[in-house]
Structure 1
Amino acid sequence: MTTAPAPVTVSASAPVAGLVPATGGGLPVGRIGADAGRDAVIAHLREGARLIRRSDIQMVHAAGLGHIGGEFSITDVLATLYLHVMKVSPDQVADPERDRLILSKGHAAGALYTTLAAAGFIPPDQLATFMQPMSMLNGHPDRKKIAAVEANTGPLGHGLPIAVGTAIAAKLDGSPRRTFVLLGDGELQEGSNWEAMMTASQYGLANLTAVVDRNRLQQGARVVDTNDLEPLADKLRAFGWEVVEVDGHDHGALLDVFAAVPAASGKPTFVIAHTFKGYPISFMRDNVAWHHKVPSAEQVALALAELETS
């Protein structure tokens, strides 16, 4: 019987085969601190997101599977969190005081994997194994295969409840560690999320930040045509959350939003990140067909060319 590979932990102090600097056009780009200055941080995040998207589309094309549209819509959020905001690094994946991120929209695992590679948590050469038998890179994140993955996700509506439990544990420990959870907007049609929201408010989980990828598209349709969420901000406030709306592709705006959590009010924070599926690629942007579509070689070439000038 073949056993699953052990979780991979990459030490920040040890070189890993295949890692190349961002200036070489590859991964990883690594973390940047606030001491670099705001302009340098934004430039670093923008370049990191570009390289993550380059790797993602090539990985999905090679595998013949993936959810590239929804992966591109969350790339800027993931890059901002992993490359600057969150207090976690490759040598902290077992540190109980690390910040956590849970990708509730687990079908967008490709964006998480390429971001983790960019940040040095997994060797970039593993991206070539995406969706292959016994690969650590499943179609949905698996915490038993990757140490940096906090929770197995995929069935929608599970990530926020898990994040609430994680945030409660931190509060009981008297720890300042934060929990971030990234959801899809179609996913908010799941009732389990609203139960979790009530619990987060009840327990005053200021250490919890939920981010919804508000690209307004879900599998096969627009969210508004399936089960309209509006007025979303009003509903979230009624459930006891601080609510912030932001351009989910603006790294500077994202930095400002995340710098304001935990909220001074003591409430959990819900970030409505307005995004576009497939951003910034012209033939993918705001196109529902790219929820679960694999780009051809010609489309990969066009997308890579657009990423050079975006």
Structure 2
Amino acid sequence: MGFEERVRRVQDAAYRIRHHVLTMGEVQGQGYVGQGLGVADILAAAYADQLRYRADDPHWEERDRFLLSIGHYAIGHYAALAEAGIVPVAELETYGSDDSRLPMSGMASYTPGMEISGGSLGHGLGVAVGMALGLRLQGRDERVFNLLSDGELDEGSTWEAAMGAHHHQLGRLLALVDVNALQADGKTETVLRTEPLLDKWTAFGWFAQRVDGNDVSALLRAYDEAEVHSELTGRPSVILCDTRIGRGVPLLENREKAHFMRIEESEWQLCRDELTAGHEGANR
């Protein structure tokens, strides 16, 4: 498959993921909709282009592992799992409801394809390191992907895990950092300044790249480069993805209090219309 065809396939998948996010958001009328929209391109590139999995067998031993460290981003991950055929699209209507397999924070015990449970942030990369090391000790070559956020870089446990990954030369580990510059207590730079991120990850021994996380072409090139580099050097890789909360829906991209959004009943169809118009306009 040519590169342009890969780009188009991922762009189409990202559009459907965003549509699924809006479907789930409307069920509750609020939530982490902005984050789900913002990381849709990252998730689409992973599930439509990179990950090895079987939709009808989420526990297939030879699957690549995708770990959602940021449990409150589950709305985006569920959308990606639905796009991948692992979760039925119709089930998205149950998001956050009693007895649903799709709770508002990701839970491995409930949801097919969810490798770890969310909760307090800062643990995902440590689990990913242990998983990648365990797979290697078993003589396996499956890749381990970990999606985490720039807010999680406030946590010392994340950097301990980063050191461990380099020490053990876990070349099958790829970290994806959603750098949306916002967390629960405000702008990331005012809560705890973590820049320069590229220099820090490089200093920790990782092969680090920084791209526009809402640019599918840039993402795919970064994914490809990470895999090639890991094969050559054995070093873990990280892609720092600068994203925009609410991406694809202009009404939500500029909304204040974007970490946890309240969206009025009358706005949902407008959100869908903006999303569709933007996708169709980009494909003309």
TM tier, smaller: over 0.9
1:268 is matched with which residue: 221, 231, 236?
236
For residue 129 of structure 2, give the secondary structure of its aligned residue in structure 1. Answer: helix
8 Å CA contact 1:108–1:140 kept in 2: the answer is yes
Q: Offset of 1:40 from its aligned partner?
A: 2.1
Q: CA RMSD in A?
A: 1.4
C-alpha contact 1:130 1:138 (8 A) present in aligned 2: yes
The alignment status of 1:292 with 2:260, answered yes or no, reads yes
1:239 to 182, 199, 204: 204
2:77 matched to which residue of 1? Answer: 112
**What is the identity, as a one-letter code, of the residue corresponding to 1:259?**
D
- Identify the residue that residue 179 of structure 2 maps to in structure 1: 214
8 Å CA contact 1:70, 1:277 repeated in 2: yes
**1:153 corresponds to 2:113:** no
Q: Which residue of 1 aligns with 2:131?
A: 166
Could you tell me how far 1:286 is from its partner in structure 2? Answer: 5.4
What is the percentage of aligned positions where both structures have the same residue? 34
Whole-angstrom distance in 2 between the partners of 1:196 and 1:51:
33
- Do 1:92 and 1:98's aligned partners in 2 also have CA atoms closer than 8 Å? no
In structure 2, which of residues 130, 148, 161 is the aligned counterpart of residue 183 of structure 1?
Answer: 148
Structure 1 residue 287 displacement after superposition: 4.4
Partners of 2:149 and 2:41 lie apart in 1 by 14
2:251 aligned partner, one-letter code: F
Is 1:89 matched up with 2:54? yes
**Which of 235, 250, 269 lines up with 1:282 in the alignment?**
250
- For 1:42 and 1:297, locate their aligned partners in 2 and report how far apart those are by CA, in whole Å: 34
**Contact 1:248/1:273, CA 8 A, preserved across alignment:** yes
TM value normalised by structure 2: 0.93
Structure 1 length normalisation: TM-score?
0.85
The one-letter code sitting in structure 2 at the alignment partner of 1:100 is R
Higher helix share: 2
How far apart, in 2, do the equivalents of 1:291 and 1:142 lie? 20
Residue in 2 that maps onto 1:100: 65
CA contact (8 A) 1:246 1:274 kept: yes
* Partner of residue 281, structure 2: none
Q: Aligned to 1:301, which of 269, 272, 276?
A: 269
Q: Extract structure 1 runs of 4+ deviating beyond 3 A.
A: none
How much does 1:298 deviate? 2.5
Structure 1 segments unaligned to the other structure (5+ residues): 1-34
The gaps in structure 2 that reach 5 residues or longer are 279-284
Q: Which residue of 1 aligns with 2:89?
A: 124
Please tell me whether the aligned partners of residues 23 and 93 of structure 2 are also in contact (alpha carbons under 8 angstroms): no
| Inter-partner Cα distance in structure 1 for 2:43 and 2:90 | 20
Distance 1:272 1:72, change over 3 A: same
Q: Which moved more, 1:50-59 or 1:156-165?
A: 50-59
